[in-house]
Amino acid sequence: MKVPPTIGGGIGGRRPSEQHPRFAAVVKPGTRILIVDDELDLLDMLTTYFLGSNYEVDTATNGTDALVAVTRQRPNVVLLDIKMPRMNGVEALKEIMKIDQSIAVIMLTGNLELPVTVEAIRNGAFGYVPKPFDLRYLDHLIAASLGRSRRLR
């Protein structure tokens, strides 16, 4: 999937992950995804993809900012990278579960270490997707997690 340098013609040269609030009128209300990754190109690609799939999308580039977003917005699903500055994904996952266990957290990582996977699942992750990933698989995992999230709320 080729991602345009900006969405909608680019407002002030901002990246897609910085433009998403202006799409609020075209998305399904109540279906919110928080994407957390320090790789800006990946963050932009996922933001563009999920906005195009009519989700409300919030973004963060580290675990600390993700916790602020979770507290303010209560997303249905969090796509959470494991290796990030300031607070790694597993630490952020533990804190998200303290805030709201009904939030489905899907871990994204380029690291396939089994102990990290096991730790994430034991601490409440709904799923674990290695990078690079198939967006269709991620769609299916999100759909399954939304069903779980709605049952728990």
**Rounded to an integer, what distance in angstroms lies between the CA atom of residue 77 and that of residue 148?**
10
- Residue-averaged pLDDT of the chain: 81
9-18, 43-52, 56-65, range with the lowest pLDDT: 9-18
pLDDT in tens, 87-115: 999 999 999 999 999 999 999 988 777 88
What are 107's strand-pairing partners? 80, 128
**Rounded to an integer, what distance in angstroms lies between the CA atom of residue 95 and that of residue 99?**
6
pTM attached to this predicted model: 0.80
pLDDT in tens, 135-148: 999 989 999 998 76
Backbone angles phi, psi at 130, to 5 degrees: -75, 145
Indicate the CATH number of 28-152 among 3.40.50.2300, 3.50.50.60, 2.50.20.10, 1.20.1050.10: 3.40.50.2300
